[in-house]
Amino acid sequence: MYRRLAVCFLSFAISCGDSATTGQDSDGGDPSSMSPSASGCSIASCGGEGQACVQDRCVTDCRIATASACSAGKVCDFTDGRCVGKDSPGVLTGGFQECIGPNGKQQCGPGSLCSLDGHCAADGPCSELSCDETGRCYGTSCPTTRPAPLCTLPDLDKLTAVTPNAISFDFDRLCNSYVVTLTGYDYLYQVAPSGDITTVAGYSDANMHEVVAAPLAASVKTPGDVALIYGIHGSALSMLQRGEMMSLPPLIPTSAVAAGVAPIGAPFDTYSAGLTYGPQGRLFVGNVQVSGDLAEVNAKDGTTTTLYTDPNGERITAAAQYNVRSLVIGMMSGELRLFDLGTKKMTVLSSGISEPIASLAMDRFTGTLYVGHMSGAVVTVNAKGEVTPFAKHDLAARLRIGPDNALYCLTGAISGGGVSGASFAKTALPNKR
Ranked by mean pLDDT, which of 44-48, 274-278, 289-293, 394-398 comes out on top?
274-278
Residue 28, pLDDT > 50, answer no
Rounded Cα–Cα distance for residues 117 and 404 (Å): 30
pTM for the model stands at 0.87
Residue 117, pLDDT > 70, answer yes
- 203 vs 212, which has greater pLDDT? 212
Residue 112, pLDDT > 50, answer yes
pLDDT at position 181: 86
pLDDT at position 23: 36
Contact present, 22 and 55 (Cβ < 8 Å): no
Residue 82, pLDDT > 60, answer yes
Ranked by mean pLDDT, which of 5-19, 138-152, 215-229, 289-303 comes out on top?
138-152
DSSP state of 375: T
Query: Cα 353 from chain centroid?
Result: 20
Say which residues have a Cβ less than 8 Å from residue 407's Cβ, sequence separation at least 6: 361, 363, 370, 399, 400, 401, 426, 427, 428, 429
Confidence of residue 155 (pLDDT cuts 50, 70, 90): confident
Burial of 389 (0-12, 13-18, 19+ CB in 10 A): exposed
Looking at every residue in the chain, the average pLDDT score rounds to 83
pLDDT at position 304: 86
- 306 vs 55, which has greater pLDDT? 306
* Residues of the chain above pLDDT 70, percent: 80
Residue spans of the domains in the chain: they are 31-140, 147-428
Residue 18, pLDDT > 50, answer no
Rounded Cα–Cα distance for residues 47 and 55 (Å): 16
Q: Cα separations (Å) of 98 from 66, 115, 144, 336?
A: 18, 11, 26, 26
Residues facing residue 406 across a β-bridge = 428
Mean predicted confidence (pLDDT) in 408-426: 81
The predicted-structure confidence for 238-281, as pLDDT tens digits, reads as follows 766 444 445 566 555 555 555 556 666 656 666 788 999 999 99
Rg (CA), the chain: 23
Residue 328, pLDDT > 80, answer yes
Contact present, 268 and 414 (Cβ < 8 Å): yes
pLDDT at position 249: 60
The predicted-structure confidence for 360-388, as pLDDT tens digits, reads as follows 999 999 999 999 988 889 999 999 999 99
Contact present, 29 and 41 (Cβ < 8 Å): no
Mean predicted confidence (pLDDT) in 107-125: 96
Burial of 36 (0-12, 13-18, 19+ CB in 10 A): exposed
Burial of 217 (0-12, 13-18, 19+ CB in 10 A): middle
Rounded Cα–Cα distance for residues 423 and 421 (Å): 6
The predicted-structure confidence for 281-292, as pLDDT tens digits, reads as follows 999 999 888 889
Contact present, 75 and 84 (Cβ < 8 Å): yes
- 24 vs 289, which has greater pLDDT? 289
- The fold of the 147-428 domain, in CATH, is Methylamine Dehydrogenase; Chain H (2.130.10)
- Lowest-confidence region among 211-220, 240-249, 273-282, 338-347: 240-249
Rounded Cα–Cα distance for residues 407 and 427 (Å): 5
Pairing type for strands 273-277 and 237-239 reads: unpaired
- Lowest-confidence region among 44-48, 300-304, 348-352, 404-408: 300-304
Confidence of residue 37 (pLDDT cuts 50, 70, 90): very low
